[in-house]
Structure 1
Amino acid sequence: MFNPSRDQVRQFFIDTWRKHQELQVLTPLEDIALNWIEQHPEYHDVLIQPDAMTREFNVEEGRTNPFLHLSMHLAIAEQLSIDHPRGIRQAFDKLASRTDPHHAAHEIMECLGQVVWESQRLGTALDSEAYIELIRQRVSRD
């Protein structure tokens, strides 16, 4: 299993944006990442800042960590591509039909964040069943 460090994740997104700006060829994964970077113009300046590798993004200060946010988009894109946990693709399609794919991904991201936080808090593996159940609850909302 691939388990990149914080610095590797940050460098990946920084390099992807730089390569795009320089019109270099992207890998398939970079191409997917670029799609999400382009949908978040509020992160573009962060990706070119000299302190991007070390910058802190404190929730207490109302700052979203763009690297975490983009990483979660990539994780969800992978989950959708293989329909794991089972049923996530169908749930995503239903959410997207009500709004749009980006908003649907953010809905799922809320669920992913909750189960990741819970697994870290308890020191346990991510609970896929709880995750898909949270997503299904969002789908069933009116």
Structure 2
Amino acid sequence: MSLFNPSREEVRQFFCDAWSKHQASGILTPMESIAARWMVEHPEYHALLNNPQQAQEAEYTPEKGQTNPFLHLSMHMSITEQVQIDQPPGIREASRQLTIKLDSEHEAQHRIMECLGQVLWSAQRDGTPPDMATYVELIKRLL
């Protein structure tokens, strides 16, 4: 799997494999451990994760009104890593405060995800790099 630009199939396979290993109490890599932690939090995805063929074939389009579980889980993983390394600067503390305010790390991550989505959408629309200072500011506004 390409670390920095995995294909759709590689991402889906990663999550299905990590889920399978987690369920079998196998030894997980650090990335698989983070993924498994968030997959456990999303029981609505378990049937899909248990069926790698269905996972590979599933299509998620805005017209269907379905959340793409692999994008959602990937965003959880990205935010977890951002918080762990405090990049962009300030995200760790903003995330901590939001988690306290909402009394739920999971709910805090979902709110942060909305901020990340907004910043990524703006960057894509404007053809610019994501504005990470704005990203942290949007999170702080939730406090």
Q: 1:64-89: CA deviations, max 9, x gaps?
A: 10000000000000000011111111
Aligned to 2:89: 86
Q: How does 1:27-46 map to 2 (within 5 A)?
A: 27-46=29-48
SS of residue in 2 equivalent to 1:125: coil
> Which letter maps to 2:18?
T
- What is the distance in 1 between the residues matched to 2:95 and 2:25? 32
How far does residue 136 in structure 1 lie from its aligned partner after superposition? 1.3
Q: Aligned match of 1:98 in 82, 97, 101?
A: 101
Q: Which amino acid aligns with 2:139?
A: I
Residue aligning to 1:15: 17
Q: 1:122: which partner in 2?
A: 126
* Offset at residue 23 of structure 1 (A): 2.6
TM-superposed deviation, 1:28: 1.1
CA distance in 1, matches of 2:23, 2:99: 30
3-state SS, counterpart of residue 37 of structure 1: helix
TM-score, structure 1 normalization: 0.91
TM-score, structure 2 normalization: 0.91
Determine what percentage of the aligned residue pairs are the same residue: 53
Moved more, 49-58 or 110-119: 49-58
CA distance in 1, matches of 2:57, 2:117: 22
**Which one of 4, 7, 24 corresponds to residue 5 of structure 1?**
7
1:131 aligns with 2:140: no
RMSD: 1.3
Decide which moves more: 116-125 or 85-94.
116-125
- Could you list the structure 1 runs, at least 4 aligned residues long, displaced by more than 3 angstroms after superposition: none
**CA deviation profile, 1:35-94 (whole Å, cap 9, x unmatched):** 000000001111123221121112322211000000000000000001111111111111
CA drift at 1:127: 1.1
> What CA distance in whole angstroms lies between the structure 1 residues aligned with 2:128 and 2:8?
21
